[in-house]
Structure 1
Amino acid sequence: MEWTGACYADTPTTEVRREIAASPERVWELVAGIGLMPTLSAELRSVEWLDGATSPATGARFLGRSEHESFGTWETTSYVVECEAPRVFAWAVENPERPSAVWRFSLRARDDGGTDLTQWMQLGPGRSGLSYAIDRMPEKEQKIVFVRMREFERNMAATLDAIKELAEGTRAAAERRGA
């Protein structure tokens, strides 16, 4: 994807797709299990449901704690804005009306019994940690956005690769073999 010229106010998006040889129900178990995500993420350190929630449902909230070498550590509250098992799980970060980001997993059943899994994200329109970097260096906004979007894309690809391995059982088999 080409990010040249994107500004934060443009609410740039990126997405990554994987074909997974597992049913949508199996893939759903993984993407809807938010406790798994910190083990797959380069930034997310922990998550916990809030208000007594124990699984995704529209309106449920969860707290995420993250860390990045350039941005430090931070916490966010996310709001589930779309949840339809086993098809879509989406959440808005901080403010569902004007989120700092929106994230979505979409699952589509394939004719062969497998699943097409897409992870999509949108930056903004609400302020985020990236906004503060842009405030300090407004002349570098496009570069800052470009670099961060590429970083999201790489991290999303790694997450989907790990979900694919888990869903297909290849990760567990490799770990049993000591690989």
Structure 2
Amino acid sequence: MEWTGARYADQPTVEVRTRIDAPPRRVWDLVSDIRRMPELSTELRSAEWLDGATAPVVGARFVGRSGHPSLGEWETTSYVVECAPCRVFAWAVGDPEHPSALWRFGLREADGGTELTQWMRMGPGRSGLSLAIDRMPDKEQKIVFVRLREFERSMTGTVEAIRKLAENAEGADA
């Protein structure tokens, strides 16, 4: 696990990784299924493709509905900005040219299994966190730090849930 940045304008990032005893195709099937993601995430409540899309492809859009005890509930539209099956699935939240966040799953074949990374970057566009910073600018670094730690915990849980599903499915397929 690693994260960088201290202020929102620095576009701080978080990355977590795990090794999965399953082939990249099986892991890809999980990370690219946005409708399944809510069961693997602590904040995402639902996700649905828009405009007739049924799978990730660059330019496809989806709506996500999220919730957090301190931040309330919100809805965002995301745009797929990178998609290479069994390798990378990335999306920009909000305006793809100036997103409030950029998220990415990376997959790499490793030792007969898959190394999975989940990465995110805050900003540069405004987000709900920007509103908290506007209200308490003197606490910006603490606000960003706390949110990065929350993302790190949540993302660690997400990649662990993906690992368990992929490995359990492998056992069932054998």
1:117 aligns with 2:116: yes
Give the aligned partner of residue 87 of structure 1.
87
Deviations 1:52-102 (A, max 9, x none): 000000000000000111111100000000000010000000010000000
Give the aligned partner of residue 155 of structure 1.
154
Unmatched tracts of structure 1, length 5 or more:
174-179
What does 1:50-129 correspond to in 2, within 5 Å?
Answer: 50-110=50-110, 112-129=111-128
**Residues in 2 aligned to 1:2 and 1:12: alpha-carbon distance in whole angstroms:** 7
Cα RMSD after superposing both structures: 1.6
Give the aligned partner of residue 129 of structure 2.
130
Q: Contact conserved, 2:3 with 2:13, CA < 8 A, in 1? A: no
When normalised by structure 1's length, the TM-score is: 0.92
What's the secondary structure of 1:107's corresponding residue?
strand
Give the aligned partner of residue 164 of structure 1.
163
What's the secondary structure of 1:35's corresponding residue?
coil
Deviation at 1:2, TM superposition (A): 6.3
**Residues in 1 aligned to 2:9 and 2:63: alpha-carbon distance in whole angstroms:** 25
Deviations 1:19-51 (A, max 9, x none): 000000000000001111100111100000000
**How many pairs align?**
171
**Residues in 2 aligned to 1:38 and 1:49: alpha-carbon distance in whole angstroms:** 13
**Residues in 1 aligned to 2:140 and 2:91: alpha-carbon distance in whole angstroms:** 25
Give the aligned partner of residue 40 of structure 2.
40
Deviation at 1:155, TM superposition (A): 0.2
**Does the C-alpha gap of structure 1 residues 150 and 58 become closer, same or farther in structure 2, counting only changes over 3 Å?**
same
Task: Tell me the amino acid that sits aligned with residue 168 of structure 1.
Answer: E
Q: Contact conserved, 2:3 with 2:148, CA < 8 A, in 1? A: no
Q: Contact conserved, 2:23 with 2:112, CA < 8 A, in 1? A: yes
Runs of 4+ with >3 A deviation: none
Task: Tell me the amino acid that sits aligned with residue 144 of structure 1.
Answer: I
Deviations 1:107-140 (A, max 9, x none): 0011x32000000000000000000000000000
Deviation at 1:146, TM superposition (A): 0.2
When normalised by structure 2's length, the TM-score is: 0.95
